[in-house]
Amino acid sequence: MNTNGELIGVGVGPGDPELLTVKAVRALQSADVVAHFCKDGNASHARATAAQFFRPGLLELPLPYPLTTETPTADPAYRSTIQEFFDAAADTVAGHLAAGRTVAVLSEGDPLFYGSYMHLHIRLMKRFPTRVIPGVTGMSGCWSAAGLPITQGDDVLTVLPGTLDEAELVRRFRQSDPSVVMKVGRNLSKVRRALIAADRLGDAIYVERGTTPQERFMPLADKDDDSAPYFAIILVAGRWCKP
């Protein structure tokens, strides 16, 4: 008899607690353990979004990342540290699952779209029952907040991490119609230069903390500094729908 608990990746959406799905709320209310990745010393955004749905007595399992600054993912030392961290996190979660406890892992946005949950999923999916509850992505939250129709008809959408190098960003902006830049943060000045080089700055909208009370958005051309939170997003409108 299999008495293992279930591993559930739970997308909590872009930030507004009301943008959790009905299914995500139910999963949180029946989970034995709720795990969330966080930076050491900082509360997890996903936890802040979902906490109002936690039941009393829930066991919380914070999983603090070993590094607090962004490092190039091509760096072998970084890769090794982060792989060891995910191995250890998977072992901890596996202990709860083997004891028969259901573990819900919170993910900002959607779990399998740039989410850390996937690193637990691929390590545990062969040993335990797993289920993924999709969530509203951060980018959907941002284009909805800005009221910008991002794609229609035959549009091709390109989703770009702001961590790409500048020449690659320029090339992508030149050949893309609508696009979205994720993980803007400290990459904002580079992304701005690439948009200017590709002659697309006028199509770009900057959005930070979309769907939360701190939401702000503006044409990127009107933003007069290059400071941005990590989860800020830039939307580049398609040519048929200038902002």
The residue with tokens 């792989």 is 83
Instruction: Say how many C-beta atoms besides its own lie within 10 A of residue 57's C-beta.
Output: 6
Q: Please, which residue, 99 or 216, has the CB nearer to its own copies? A: 216
Q: Please, which residue, 4 or 144, has the CB nearer to its own copies? A: 144
Q: Please, which residue, 59 or 156, has the CB nearer to its own copies? A: 156
**Tokens of residue 66, six digits:** 């070993």
Quote the least distance from Cβ 225 to its own copies, whole Å. Answer: 25
Quote the least distance from Cβ 119 to its own copies, whole Å. Answer: 8
**Tokens of residue 103, six digits:** 């573990």
Quote the least distance from Cβ 136 to its own copies, whole Å. Answer: 5
Quote the least distance from Cβ 172 to its own copies, whole Å. Answer: 7
Give the single-character DSSP code of 109: B
Q: How many CA atoms lie within 13 A of 116 on its CB side?
A: 21
Q: Please, which residue, 56 or 72, has the CB nearer to its own copies? A: 72
Q: Please, which residue, 57 or 153, has the CB nearer to its own copies? A: 153
Quote the least distance from Cβ 93 to its own copies, whole Å. Answer: 16
Quote the least distance from Cβ 243 to its own copies, whole Å. Answer: 12
Quote the least distance from Cβ 150 to its own copies, whole Å. Answer: 6
Q: Please, which residue, 73 or 99, has the CB nearer to its own copies? A: 73
Sites of contact with its own copies (CB under 8 A): 9, 11, 13-14, 16-23, 25-26, 73, 110-115, 118, 121-122, 125, 130, 132-137, 140-141, 143-145, 147-161, 163-164, 172, 211, 241
User: What are φ and ψ of residue 22, in 5° steps?
Assistant: -55, -40
**Tokens of residue 124, six digits:** 């545990």
Which helix (H) or strand (E) element contains residue 39? strand 33-39
**Tokens of residue 104, six digits:** 């819900």
Q: What angle do CA 154, 158, 162 make, to 5 degrees?
A: 160
**Tokens of residue 192, six digits:** 């701005």
SS3 166: helix
Contact status, residue 137 vs residue 159, Cβ threshold 8 Å: no
Q: Please, which residue, 23 or 186, has the CB nearer to its own copies? A: 23
**CA–CA gap between residue 232 and residue 174 (Å, rounded):** 22
